[in-house]
Structures are given as C-alpha cells and as structure tokens.
C-alpha cells in the first residue's frame, strides 16, 4: 500500500508571501499524484494532478507543484497567497503500476494553510 506524509499540519503565512506545502510519498514503480483543497464543511476540490510528462504541473488559483521522483516528493507552491487561500490542503497518491487498484487514493493527513492580513 502507498502512504503519504504531509510534513506540516499547520502553515501560517502573511498575505502576498510565498508558501510551500510539503508532501512525501512511499516509493512505488510509478504513481499518480494529486493535491486537493478543502474549505470548511465542504468536499474536496482538485487543485492539480501529476499523471505523466512534465514534472512541473500547474493548477488552479495560481498553485503549482513539482514531482521529484528521486526524493519521492510532490510539494505544492504558490508565489503570493491571498486570504481566500485559507483552507486545508491534502496530498494524495495513487499507484500507477499494474498491480495497483486503479483509482485507489491514499491521502495525507492534511495541512491547514492560514493566511493573515
């Protein structure tokens, strides 16, 4: 089974500052990687995904993430945050090799991003 570690449970940052939310996953032959955002009392919304190709992926709301296979990481970044980015962010991984159950996602425990004015 896959596992995902989100290294920070809470990240406070001031508005317009850059932010990085860290995510590491357990190694596998190949993986699909995702970042989701959750606003209070709502479901999860897909921010971005890595399925194949370029290791730098761009998502919605100005977020981007870089897939680093050697470090088994998929950190999420934004160069300048807004107060509206305050939410919980989840990193998730799905195995892409033949032995994996297609679509089976493993989630990290989440990182609460709080943006202060």
> Minimal distance in Å, beta carbon 61 to other proteins?
16
- Residue 97 dihedral angles phi and psi, to the nearest 5°: -85, 170
Query: Does residue 109 belong to the site contacting other proteins (CB under 8 A)?
Result: yes
Query: Does residue 103 belong to the site contacting other proteins (CB under 8 A)?
Result: yes
72, 84 contact by CB (below 8 A): no
18, 64 contact by CB (below 8 A): no
DSSP per position, 61-96? GG-EEEEETTTTEEEEEESS--GGG-EEEEEEEEE-
Single out the residue of 67, 72, 73, 110 in contact with other proteins (rule: CB under 8 A).
110
- Candidates 16-24, 57-65, 74-82, 108-116: pick the segment binding other proteins (CB under 8 A): 108-116
Residues 26-85 that bind other proteins (CB under 8 A): 34, 36, 41-46, 49
Residues that bind other proteins (CB under 8 A): 9, 34, 36, 41-46, 49, 90, 101-105, 107-110
């Amino acid at each position: 089974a896959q596992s995902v570690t989100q290294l920070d449970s809470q990240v406070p940052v001031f508005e317009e500052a850059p932010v990085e939310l860290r995510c590491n996953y357990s190694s596998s032959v190949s993986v699909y990687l995702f970042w989701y955002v959750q606003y209070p009392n709502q479901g999860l919304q897909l921010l971005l995904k890595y399925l194949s190709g370029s290791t730098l992926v761009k998502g919605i709301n100005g977020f981007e993430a870089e897939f680093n296979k050697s470090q088994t990481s998929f950190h999420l970044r934004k160069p300048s945050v807004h107060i509206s980015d305050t939410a919980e962010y989840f990193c998730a991984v799905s195995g892409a090799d033949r032995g994996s159950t297609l679509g089976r996602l493993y989630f990290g425990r989440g990182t609460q991003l709080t943006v202060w004015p």
